[in-house]
Structure 1
Amino acid sequence: MFTKLLKEPFQYERIPLSKVKRDKKNRPKNMWKTIKRIWSYLTREKGKLTLVISMVLISSALSLLGPFMVGMAIDDFIVQQNVNGLGTLLLLLVGVYLMHSVSVFLQNYWMIGIAQNAVYKMRDELFRQFHQLPISFFDKRKHGELMSRVTNDIDNVNITLNQSVIQIFASVLTLIGTVGVMLYLSPLLTVITMTIIPVMFICMRWITKRTGPLFKLQQNRLGEVNGFVEEMVSGHHVIKTFSQEERVNTDFREKNDQLQLSGFWSMVFSGYIPKVMNMLNFLSFGLIALFGGILAFNGYITVGVIVIFTEYARQFTRPLNELSNQFNVLLSAVAGAERVFHIMDETQEEADEKDAKTLDHIQGRLEFKDVSFAYEKELTLQNINFTAQPGETIAFVGHTGAGKSTIINLVSRFYNYTGGEILLDGIPLKQIKRNDLRSHMAFVLQDPFLFHGTIRENIRYGDLKATDEEIIKAAKNANAHDFIMELPKGYDTILNTDGTGISQGQRQLITIARAFLAKPSLLVLDEATSNIDTITEMKIQQGLKKLMNGRTSLVIAHRLNTIQEADQIIMLENGKIIERGNHDALVEQQGKYNQLYQNQLKRLMP
């Protein structure tokens, strides 16, 4: 493995090591803009930030004062053999270092609070943004990769704000103060000491040009691994069913190798920094000893000044070392923050029109007039026309990709139609507030989704203000009450996210109870009885029949025996309506619907 890391650091990315510095796509694209945006979160607590800056100023001044006092002790007291004065100065020196420790503690204490609040607000804003983005955004992205933005990327920002911001600021102040005092003591020796700066700059530039892209690459690879793991854990049943464990392990190993390789080389290059700085430290000490000794022999400076310069040279290279190290941490944090801000800057769901209406009650008359829609460029729906009267059931049938789910997405305004008009009780759908529209709708989908929590909480999701009595009534209407009461803790039985512990049919009954509680005027059913045993299907059908009574219902059907009582059946093909009518009328037409119906009958026959 180590040989592979050395010989093929970018075998998956196909990027030669010599060309890493030219790979601009993996660098933060707007580094200073991103840093400025992170800083805006810190400045929301100006009072605490002012205290932190004050403590940094004090600690930096005290760190410069200490070595200066040591030099004074040598020249004014040790050389002069003044014991009394030396004792007093030593006591003052102890006080200086104690005050320095206290100021460092306070600045760290206050900065941690500021950083935690900033990250809290950032994470909160990102989570809120998730709920303001259109459905199309989530349809195009892996959920695990999005989760990585909330966890890993923001954690990187958190570490940087807690540790790096103060160090960077303190290092800059220490550098400025150190150079100022050194120039005051001996301009010539200062110039000699500063000769290491060009060498340091060249080394740091060579290293950071490579670590920047590598840290960005590492964050991207980490997001891909998280997304892959989330997807595989969600689909583990399918993986085991088709015995694809070995292929999945191979795919994961490849992605894990990519993450390992990018992480290995980012650490290797960033690890050069302290080694280079130590070498330059030794070079600096050697220059001070050589030229400082010459100047001292000729009476230009004192021994105390040489001692001060030696300590200041260490203080000078230490902030540079810290800046170099923190720069790499900063690059990683900026790369993560850029990914977070990219989500925050995504176009939110289209705002409601200014004159959008709020509906206290709807009758449920739904009308499509020449409606067309395209997800990308190619039309998914073309000139769709139909009318659903209040209380009617409209069923949509057709092969996969015919446009059934798209119609539902348009009615719920998950997507906005691009042509024609959809009217609800005579009001254009775009003139109704989204939240208000959806508050009058309920969905019972093919794959029921339950949240982690009790059955009571999952049903109450349909109406958070519902009482326990209303929850029980909804469960009875959905034919779910009996099986719930047979569970050890009844309505207080805790379910996992995937509903582990109860059957698919029982999960579906709970979602029907949730829909009952919502008291919708518009009901959407997406093959709610698929993959259910016969007895449970009968219970679900009974519950759905009660639920649909008096409500305008839109049903996506794959099994035609479940929609024979629909008021209107619409047959779709390639985004167009090719047949419509009730079941008997469509069978008599001997068209596509009848062919589909007869084929399903043959499958059911022994």
Structure 2
Amino acid sequence: MASTEDTPFDQYRADVDRPLLRLFREYGLPRLRWFVAGNLANLVGRGASLLPPLVLGTAIDAIFIGDGTYGLPLVPETWFPTGQVEQFWLSVGLILGGFLLTAAGTFLWGVTMNRFAHGVMHAVRTDTFAAMQALDMAFFDDKQTGEVMSVLNNDASNLETFLDDALSEGLRIVVMILGIAGILIHLNRQLAAVTLVLVPAMGLFTWWFMRQVEPLYKQVRSDVGSLNTRLENALSGVELVKTTGTEDYETGRVREASNDLYESNMAVLTLSYFYRPGMELLAGLSFAATFIVGGLWLFQGPPLGLSGELSVGEFVTFVFLTQRFVEPLSQASNIVDWYENAKASGERVFGLMDVPPHVVEADDADSLSGVDGRVEYDDVTFGYDEEPVLRDVDFEVAPGETVGLVGPTGAGKSTVMKLLMRLYDVDEGAIRIDGTDVRDVTIPSLRSAIGYVSQDPFLFDGTIAENIRYGQFDASDEAVRDAARAAEAHEFIADLPEGYDTRVGERGVKLSGGQRQRLAIARVVLQDPAVLVLDEATSSVDTETEVLIQRSMDAVSADRTTFVIAHRLSTVKDADTILVLEDGAVVERGTHDELLTVDGLYATLWRVQAGEIEALPDRFLESV
């Protein structure tokens, strides 16, 4: 079976204590009225279902055989008629009334308990998603999408099943066992002892089963997450799979993950199908013992040292109620299954909820407003793990300036900008906007002041207008069109059959890379931020598209503090300042002409891209 990696998510999951009690306390109590109403209806319905066999036994003795008085437990005898005809019709009414109450109780139980359970599931799923949204990027660097999807969907559904079915069925079993046991003891204590003698054995058998099946269910939930991750990765990378001809390889990996889930499921099912027949056998033995002892008692007298009399009506009631006793006990295995499955899922759900975000607002954080755009990095050091990625990064940008960040792959260029937006927090040093530490302002106000265009912009499966408007949801149609014009996108949008109402497909697959890039720029134009970050926005497009995108970026960056992360140095040669990063440190800074004069790493990279030299000198190869 697949092993679970030791990640922060898994560590918090292991610390979850009594997840189902926590589920009821945090999400069930606010909906307690539905829970109480549902269980009262269940109690009435199940209790009423015991009335027909009890009335039948009484009617047999009092009406048909004439060997007893007409009476029911807890009801005074003076309440009942004395004539046989009246007793007969009363019996008919009571039996029909029992069936009607059972039907009504079952209907009310279904409506109220489903409202309770589905309401809890809705709240759990949305709260879990909100908790996940609040986490910083470090969590998503570590966890895979498929596993998180498994928590939000499969695990939340398992909790709903537990609340909807397991709790109600558990109450049903309790009502049936206690109710039947009470009636049987009232009718004949000695025969009731025969019927109930195996109940302790059933309890011990159930306890053993729960001990054995709990770790198996945990493995099942882990394997479900692993399979979902594998499927999500394969579907997201389907273009790479097809272009590399690796369909068989990916099918093999899915087959391996699916087999792990198959094996863990079979382990659970094998144990369950040992437990279920075992419970049914014990319950059947209880019924057989009741039938044998009661039958011998009727035509031979009290067997096995028993004493007293047993009427035919009492025997019939015992047979009917013992059969009712067998059925709920045989369903106990389902409740155990639901419970263990929900317990494993509850640990995963609350484990995700309990992961604390590392990027949090200060209690006294102020909103960042009226931003001029002065940005300062003060000896910033940062690492994703123990090894620093940035070391003592220090620079200052005046409002309205454009700064280019260049350097070999892995030098830390994108990381510098992610720290500005507080996708991560610095380990040492500080980053300030207009003299205020970014850790001292509210996160939404900080990020609304910064517009970000990535190398591979994300588009949602919706219309072009919806994607441009994303984040500025109240923007007018005219504002959307103005933003598209500024981003050099209006012309190609107008040529589409449905214009701004054209759906872009998942991740914008119906558009070219340059078109997606210009929509991302339009989205930032509509945002109108004081600070703009362009992360290699033209690195993967053709020359003609690059010219269009570069022209739109020049228009958007006017009068804004702009950071341009560039692979193509031609896109930053006109920047006010160029920062050259190598191994997480700023090794050169200046204008394009100044850096060429220095004849360092920047000048060498420029000559390579200009074709003046074929490759980097050996002294630069290690950093690349």
TM-score, normalising length: structure 2 = 0.89
2:163 to 158, 161, 164: 161
Q: Alpha-carbon deviations, 1:523-578, whole Å to 9, x = none?
A: 01110001111111100000001111111111211121211111111122222121
Q: Alpha-carbon deviations, 1:413-456, whole Å to 9, x = none?
A: 11111211212111122112111111111111100111111111
Do structure 1's residue 75 and structure 2's residue 61 form an aligned pair? yes
Shift of 1:200: 2.3
The residue type paired with residue 69 of structure 1 is V
The residue type paired with residue 451 of structure 1 is F
Do structure 1's residue 594 and structure 2's residue 603 form an aligned pair? yes
Q: 5 Å matches for 1:203-352?
A: 203-296=205-298, 297-298=301-302, 299-348=308-357, 350-352=359-361
Do structure 1's residue 193 and structure 2's residue 179 form an aligned pair? no
Which one is further off, 77-86 or 505-514?
Answer: 77-86
Match of 2:34 in 1: 48
Match of 2:438 in 1: 429
Do structure 1's residue 395 and structure 2's residue 381 form an aligned pair? no
> Do the aligned residues in 2 keep the contact of 1:28 with 1:335 (CA within 8 Å)?
no
Partners of 1:557 and 1:263 lie apart in 2 by: 50
Partners of 2:20 and 2:91 lie apart in 1 by: 47
Partners of 1:512 and 1:337 lie apart in 2 by: 42
> Do the aligned residues in 2 keep the contact of 1:212 with 1:328 (CA within 8 Å)?
no
Structure 1 residues 321 and 39: alpha-carbon distance in aligned structure 2, compared to 1, 3 A threshold: farther
Structure 1 residues 512 and 33: alpha-carbon distance in aligned structure 2, compared to 1, 3 A threshold: closer
Match of 1:4 in 2: none
Partners of 1:43 and 1:320 lie apart in 2 by: 28
Match of 2:379 in 1: 370
Q: 5 Å matches for 1:111-150?
A: 111-150=113-152
Which one is further off, 350-359 or 91-100?
Answer: 350-359
Structure 1: which 5+ residue stretches go unaligned? 1-9, 15-24
Structure 1 residues 418 and 507: alpha-carbon distance in aligned structure 2, compared to 1, 3 A threshold: same
Match of 1:6 in 2: none
Q: Alpha-carbon deviations, 1:62-105, whole Å to 9, x = none?
A: 22333221221222222228862334313321221221121111
> Do the aligned residues in 2 keep the contact of 1:28 with 1:334 (CA within 8 Å)?
no
Partners of 1:13 and 1:119 lie apart in 2 by: 28
The residue type paired with residue 212 of structure 2 is R
- The root-mean-square deviation of aligned C-alpha atoms, in Å, is 2.4
Do structure 1's residue 530 and structure 2's residue 532 form an aligned pair? no
Structure 1 residues 409 and 309: alpha-carbon distance in aligned structure 2, compared to 1, 3 A threshold: same
> Do the aligned residues in 2 keep the contact of 1:148 with 1:226 (CA within 8 Å)?
yes
> Do the aligned residues in 2 keep the contact of 1:571 with 1:577 (CA within 8 Å)?
yes
Question: Could you say what secondary structure the match of 1:166 adopts?
Answer: helix
Partners of 2:371 and 2:14 lie apart in 1 by: 50
The residue type paired with residue 541 of structure 2 is I
Q: 5 Å matches for 1:22-37?
A: 32-37=18-23
Partners of 2:561 and 2:124 lie apart in 1 by: 42
Match of 1:458 in 2: 467
Match of 2:517 in 1: 508
Match of 1:19 in 2: none
> Do the aligned residues in 1 keep the contact of 2:283 with 2:326 (CA within 8 Å)?
yes
Q: 5 Å matches for 1:461-472?
A: 461-472=470-481
Structure 1 residues 172 and 40: alpha-carbon distance in aligned structure 2, compared to 1, 3 A threshold: farther
Do structure 1's residue 65 and structure 2's residue 67 form an aligned pair? no
Q: Alpha-carbon deviations, 1:8-51, whole Å to 9, x = none?
A: xx6x679xxxxxxxxxx9x9975744244235423322333332
Q: Alpha-carbon deviations, 1:228-280, whole Å to 9, x = none?
A: 11111111111222222221111111111111122223223223343223322
The residue type paired with residue 579 of structure 1 is E
Which one is further off, 286-295 or 254-263?
Answer: 286-295
Q: Alpha-carbon deviations, 1:371-429, whole Å to 9, x = none?
A: 11122222221111101111111122222322112111110011111211212111122
Match of 2:79 in 1: none
Match of 2:109 in 1: 107
Partners of 2:295 and 2:140 lie apart in 1 by: 69
> Do the aligned residues in 1 keep the contact of 2:230 with 2:253 (CA within 8 Å)?
no
Which one is further off, 548-557 or 258-267?
Answer: 258-267
Match of 2:620 in 1: none
> Do the aligned residues in 2 keep the contact of 1:78 with 1:86 (CA within 8 Å)?
no
Structure 1 residues 603 and 66: alpha-carbon distance in aligned structure 2, compared to 1, 3 A threshold: farther
The residue type paired with residue 32 of structure 2 is K
TM-score, normalising length: structure 1 = 0.91
Structure 2: which 5+ residue stretches go unaligned? 5-10, 68-82, 303-307, 615-624
Partners of 2:329 and 2:467 lie apart in 1 by: 56
Q: Alpha-carbon deviations, 1:99-119, whole Å to 9, x = none?
A: 112111111111112222221
> Do the aligned residues in 2 keep the contact of 1:366 with 1:387 (CA within 8 Å)?
yes
The residue type paired with residue 197 of structure 1 is V
Partners of 1:377 and 1:36 lie apart in 2 by: 35
> Do the aligned residues in 2 keep the contact of 1:123 with 1:150 (CA within 8 Å)?
yes
Q: How many residues align?
A: 585
Match of 1:90 in 2: 92
> Do the aligned residues in 1 keep the contact of 2:287 with 2:326 (CA within 8 Å)?
no
Question: Could you say what secondary structure the match of 2:395 adopts?
Answer: strand
> Do the aligned residues in 1 keep the contact of 2:411 with 2:582 (CA within 8 Å)?
yes
